[in-house]
Structure 1
Amino acid sequence: MAALEVDIDNFDTLVLGESHHRLVVLDISAQWCGPCNILEPIINSVSLEYDEKQFLLTKIEAEDENMKIAGRYGVRGFPTVIAFINGQEVDRFHSAQTANFVREFIDDNLDKNS
């Protein structure tokens, strides 16, 4: 599954609201960010291994009004990936990571949501 693009206008519905039904993983990144460009294909590829009913992969570009979301969650660098369950942040990681790391992150948070 490719990441669902979100922005400040639909964040509460598509990330927080949806996290009451399944795990939501939010990738906060910026186009100019090298590690973001490394992580994006990795996280998209790993997400294909899962059923969309298990979790939703979302992405927000940290620019303009969307920076308010990064600020709300105290993001200090990009990329930052945050897991949400029941409207709350339950986990996060920073920077580019390996496919195995991303898979373990998703699996650990799916376990929290069961």
Structure 2
Amino acid sequence: MNKSMKPPPAQTADLHDFEKTVIQASGKQPVLVDFWADWCAPCHAIAPHLQRVMDEMADRVQLVKVEVDEGENMKLAGRYKLRGFPTIMLFVEGREVARFAGNRASHWIRDWLDQHLPD
């Protein structure tokens, strides 16, 4: 991506639009989902690392954030059997292909995405 161009800000999703915003959208471009909570310190710590990676890789993957404590979003956490936050999941062509939990550095996230994104 051209360094002078900033990617769009991360989208948000909830229980009611997750199917369209994540599952269907991942048929066109891989979607990285950040399941987070406002009370979660590691969730806040990983946010700038995710943004840094998205600044570099926005042409390959889009970021969607789901705040698990908003509305009925905890049902999504249950659906995907999330055990802690943050949990980061990668969806490609409508299905989960990888996940990790906890805070990670930008270089780790970049390497992880390179391993799991389609060529």
For the criterion TM > 0.5, the same-fold answer is yes
User: Alignment partner for residue 114 of structure 2, among 83, 99, 107?
Assistant: 107
Look at both structures and tell me which one has the larger radius of gyration over its CA atoms.
2
Q: How many residues align?
A: 111
What's the counterpart of residue 38 of structure 1?
Answer: 45
1:9-20 equivalence runs, <5 A: 9-20=16-27
* Gapped regions of structure 2 (runs ≥ 5): 1-6
Q: Which has the higher helix share?
A: 1
What's the counterpart of residue 90 of structure 1?
Answer: 97
What's the counterpart of residue 59 of structure 1?
Answer: 65
User: Any idea what the Cα deviations from partners look like across 1:81-108, whole Å, max 9, x if unmatched?
Assistant: 0000111110000000011111112212
Q: What TM-score does the superposition give when structure 2 sets the normalisation length?
A: 0.88
Is it true that 1:27 corresponds to 2:34 in the alignment? yes
User: Any idea what the Cα deviations from partners look like across 1:40-70, whole Å, max 9, x if unmatched?
Assistant: 1110111100233x21111000113000111
Give distance in 2, aligned partners of 1:87 and 1:32.
30
CA RMSD of aligned residues (A): 1.1
User: Any idea what the Cα deviations from partners look like across 1:12-35, whole Å, max 9, x if unmatched?
Assistant: 001000111111100000000000
| % identical aligned pairs | 36
* Gapped regions of structure 1 (runs ≥ 5): none
Runs of 4+ in 1 over 6 A off after TM superposition: none
Contact conserved, 1:23 with 1:109, CA < 8 A, in 2? no
